[in-house]
Amino acid sequence: MEGGPSRPGAFIPQCNANGVYKRIQSNFLVAEVGGVLVGSSDIRHHLTEKLTRWGGHIGYIVDPRHRRRGYGTEILRQTLCLTVALGIRPALLTCRADNAGSSRVIHACGGVVSAQTHDGICSYWI
C-alpha cells in the first residue's frame, strides 16, 4: 500500500451537530497490485461525534472489478498496522449489518461487534 505515517496526513472536513466544520487529520492509502489500483483506505486520526456514529477511524473500498479476491481483507489488515504505528489503538470501524462483505473483512481482521444501533449500524473496536 502507498502512503502511510511517513507522509504528512491531509485534513478532511467534518461537520459537527452544530454545523461547525472541524478539520480531521487523515491518511489516504491506495492499494496497487501489479500496477493496477484495486482499492483504497483512509485513516482518520480523531473521532468526531459524527465519525463515532458512522465512519470510525478507518474507511476502505475495493474497486468492484477486483472484489472477492481477498483484497478488502488485506487492505484492512495493512491499514490496521498503520493505525497502530500512528498510535491509534484501538481503532473504531463501523459497518452496516447487511454489508456481508465488509462484516467478513472486519471479522477476518479480529473485529467483534461491540454495539449495533436500531438502524443497523454495527461498531467494532480492533
Ligand X SMILES: CC(C)(COP(=O)(O)OP(=O)(O)OC[C@H]1O[C@@H](n2cnc3c(N)ncnc32)[C@H](O)[C@@H]1OP(=O)(O)O)[C@@H](O)C(=O)NCCC(=O)NCCS
For ligand X, the binding residues (CB under 6 A) are 60-62, 67-73, 95, 99-102, 104-105, 108
Instruction: Give 33 or 84: the residue with its C-beta nearer to ligand X.
Output: 33
Q: For the sheet containing 10-15, what is the strand order?
A: 10-15, 21-33, 36-44, 58-62
Q: How far is the CB of 80 from ligand X (least distance, A)?
A: 14
Q: How far is the CB of 38 from ligand X (least distance, A)?
A: 8
Instruction: Give 19 or 41: the residue with its C-beta nearer to ligand X.
Output: 41
Q: How far is the CB of 75 from ligand X (least distance, A)?
A: 7
Q: How far is the CB of 124 from ligand X (least distance, A)?
A: 10
Instruction: Give 3 or 20: the residue with its C-beta nearer to ligand X.
Output: 3
Nearest to 99 by CA among 49, 62, 47: 62
DSSP string, 58-117: EEEEE-GGG-SSSHHHHHHHHHHHHHHHTT--SPEEEEETT-HHHHHHHHHTT--EEEE-
